[in-house]
Structure 1
């Protein structure tokens, strides 16, 4: 990297923060308006104040302007990092369920590629139903940063669902096999309540805690109504972050993004132009990236894929995981 590249990176990160902040405000405004509607009421005409409409329009215009500036700085970064001579395309696999081990394997690879002057871009090969929230978000953040410097194309041949899709939207484009399953936009929380099981087996649990919520989510008791509300708010926060990531990555308005946020998956051929850019195989994904780099015969290197051998949901936790896969990985 050239010495002056860090001024571009700093500017890009500041713009990203600004875009995210404005988008969160806009999302909060829209959610507040939706929550104010009575759930069991007949359709009514809602009058929106002129001031509220003007504020929303101003936020949208601000996001649009920040996005244009971001694209300009991204172009500057990529020009600074364009390899000279023979260009290599790296294929980085993310296979299986995503946990801390996955992040530990994938993130150093992506960070190393960012510093490798011979690599022009990355095909992120995702075959995953998702996983834990934290590692998914860490990998997504790393993909977004890499895409600022070098173009990233996400590809799936079978499934990029929930956390897998979350990571994919960090790429510049998403290519998928026509019958690959994509989407499952949503968050699921798994809680063990083994209190009755403990009682039936004569197990008594004594808990010494420093606060009323210190054992919230523990398997030896159920949740109180207040704790259920707290967990619901926490899950909704993760969900709004997921919505914002998809909206930003796919260039879709938030209201449009919500239409796909039902937790279900779609065949890629049915959501081309929205959740995915184009359908095709791995070679086509390489071709798309080659065209982005304006090269005809790249050298292709496939990194060795690693996956956790003992993925298991051992306790109460929030997941970015397709619901169909949850029960098989619950372990007591």
Structure 2
């Protein structure tokens, strides 16, 4: 009899522990970690790092464009410095609105990215220049190509390192075609669609000539927009931009020679140029939105571990990224 009581008690304790564990796991899963670590709703500009001392009422704000320009963040556990599109736009708006900021520098290190995201940054820069009459300079890092150049075009001055890779003016749209492989291994794909072109650029069959013409027309329209952005921003003729914009990349030195870049130098050089040219000699230089040390690592790790992208690996990730056509202002090595 006593043995049965001990068994019953053990079962009850076990169930209690399981219940506590389940509640804990549910709590962890439902916690808004991103908000807790202030990752996406961070008020842009509240986290300022002073780069150079000066008058706090007369600032130069340095913003980072580091990584592929696209919505969302990298799913890599260690990708703590990946580009965050919405936060960057908020930071840019904050720099424009802040009366203490009298100059803005974008430190651009990106191969480009989405057409829409690049256009949003470009339009925000134009808006800030018109609404707040503040100079915007670009400092190009290792790479400022395709969408990276698109967002640079409206700036008052573009400064690149002589070894920067820039240019790559153009639009690209790609997809995989698994049709031959599927045929070899005996896989059939059944598609029910409402219109002839609903599955355009499908990865599971060859593209038709009509579909190719439709997509080429889309790419050509986006390329025309890219060309016009450079015509407006760089005061170059459309003919000249189209000659330069055949998709090739240029070093910073080459880009300066053909008029795509104004000067050669580093970020420090760009800051010095802005101070001298915009009468900001006593300006305090601040950098927006950077976390340091353990805080940066933990914030990035928590964001990536709890993001939907972290659950996708291998072929599933590849298929997710290529689910339907997407045009990109992107330089791909």
Range moving further from structure 2, 128-137 or 230-239: 128-137
Match of 2:58 in 1: 87
Structure scoring higher RCO (CA < 8 A, sep ≥ 6) equals 2
Match of 1:166 in 2: 150
Structure 2 Cα separation of the partners of residues 200 and 132 of structure 1: 34
Match of 1:214 in 2: 198
Structure possessing the higher radius of gyration over alpha carbons:
2
Native 8 Å contact 1:140 1:166 kept in 2: yes
Structure 2 Cα separation of the partners of residues 147 and 222 of structure 1: 46
Native 8 Å contact 2:103 2:135 kept in 1: yes
Structure 2 Cα separation of the partners of residues 106 and 218 of structure 1: 33
Q: Following TM superposition, by how much is the alpha carbon of 1:317 offset from its aligned partner in structure 2, in angstroms?
A: 2.0
2:331 to 301, 322, 330: 322
CA separation of 1:86/1:112 partners in 2, compared to 1, >3 Å: closer, same or farther?
A: closer
Q: Does 1:256 align with 2:240?
A: yes
Structure 1 Cα separation of the partners of residues 279 and 188 of structure 2: 67
Q: Does 1:283 align with 2:291?
A: no
1:142 to 121, 124, 147: 124
Q: Following TM superposition, by how much is the alpha carbon of 1:233 offset from its aligned partner in structure 2, in angstroms?
A: 0.6
Deviations 1:19-76 (A, max 9, x none): xxxxxxxxxxxxxxxxxxxxxxxxxxxxxxxxxxxxxxxxxxxxxxxxxxxxxxxxxx
Match of 1:271 in 2: 255
Range moving further from structure 2, 315-324 or 303-312: 303-312
Q: State the secondary structure of the residue aligned to 2:256.
A: coil
Native 8 Å contact 2:56 2:284 kept in 1: no
Q: Following TM superposition, by how much is the alpha carbon of 1:236 offset from its aligned partner in structure 2, in angstroms?
A: 0.5
Native 8 Å contact 2:175 2:322 kept in 1: no
Match of 2:220 in 1: 236
1:187 to 171, 178, 184: 171
Structure 1 Cα separation of the partners of residues 177 and 141 of structure 2: 37
Range moving further from structure 2, 188-197 or 300-309: 300-309
Structure 1 Cα separation of the partners of residues 66 and 56 of structure 2: 32
Q: Following TM superposition, by how much is the alpha carbon of 1:200 offset from its aligned partner in structure 2, in angstroms?
A: 2.5
Deviations 1:180-210 (A, max 9, x none): 1111111111022112222223322221111
Q: Following TM superposition, by how much is the alpha carbon of 1:93 offset from its aligned partner in structure 2, in angstroms?
A: 0.5
Q: State the secondary structure of the residue aligned to 1:174.
A: strand
Match of 2:312 in 1: none
In the alignment of these two chains, the number of paired residues is 241
1:226 to 210, 217, 234: 210
Give the unaligned 5+ runs of structure 2. 1-54, 73-83, 292-299, 310-316
Give the unaligned 5+ runs of structure 1. 1-83, 325-332
Match of 1:157 in 2: 141
Deviations 1:230-255 (A, max 9, x none): 00110000111111111111110111
Match of 1:4 in 2: none
Q: Following TM superposition, by how much is the alpha carbon of 1:85 offset from its aligned partner in structure 2, in angstroms?
A: 8.0
Structure 1 Cα separation of the partners of residues 125 and 185 of structure 2: 48
Q: Does 1:100 align with 2:71?
A: yes
Structure 1 Cα separation of the partners of residues 213 and 260 of structure 2: 31
Native 8 Å contact 1:178 1:268 kept in 2: yes
1:295 to 251, 275, 280: 280
Structure 2 Cα separation of the partners of residues 130 and 157 of structure 1: 13
Match of 2:102 in 1: 120
Range moving further from structure 2, 260-269 or 98-107: 98-107
Match of 1:73 in 2: none
Deviations 1:124-176 (A, max 9, x none): 00001111211111111112212222111011121110011111112111011
Native 8 Å contact 1:103 1:136 kept in 2: no
Native 8 Å contact 1:181 1:268 kept in 2: yes
Q: Could you say what the CA RMSD is over the residues aligned between the two structures, in angstroms?
A: 2.2
Q: Following TM superposition, by how much is the alpha carbon of 1:107 offset from its aligned partner in structure 2, in angstroms?
A: 0.7
TM-score by length of 1: 0.68
